[in-house]
Amino acid sequence: MRVEFTPGSLFKVLVREDGHAYALMLSVFPYVAFYGENVSMEEAGFPSEAPMFIIVVARTAYASGGWGSPLRRLAEEFLPAIPRFFWQSPVKKSECKIVEPIKRRVAAAPGECVGLEPEAVWSQEHIEARIIDTYAGRPNAFLESLRVRL
């Protein structure tokens, strides 16, 4: 089964034998919001709380059917907004940019990037590890390696 990126598609992502999370494809490829397994859905079908995180997802994480078929499709007007991300030069830590949802990059000081999600493409393995770490209340090694350096 081949799965294409379709805004509003909601998937159940298995992360261990007895656990899962929900992945919601946002309005623009390749952004996906992840919700905890205990999230409740409103009557209209959209999550009742904010996502755990929103990240850029590699197509291979879902394209081969690893997340199965979509559980349902939410109307685009109910999808969460794509947040700002940050990018930092791996060579010169003072060189940072805030990445707007429309791919506009604005120069910023490293301190301005604290608290933003790093602009990185996440693989299925890294996504699942981050969900498991979130549930366990511990830092995720991959995410920590991407944090802004001051």
Q: pLDDT tens across 35-86, in order?
A: 999 888 666 667 878 999 999 999 999 998 889 999 889 988 889 999 999 9
Residue 129 φ then ψ, to 5°: -65, -40
Residue 98's nearest CA partner among 81, 113, 83 is 113
Please state the domain extents for the chain.
Answer: 9-146
Burial class (CB in 10 A: 0-12, 13-18, 19+), 102: exposed
pTM: 0.93
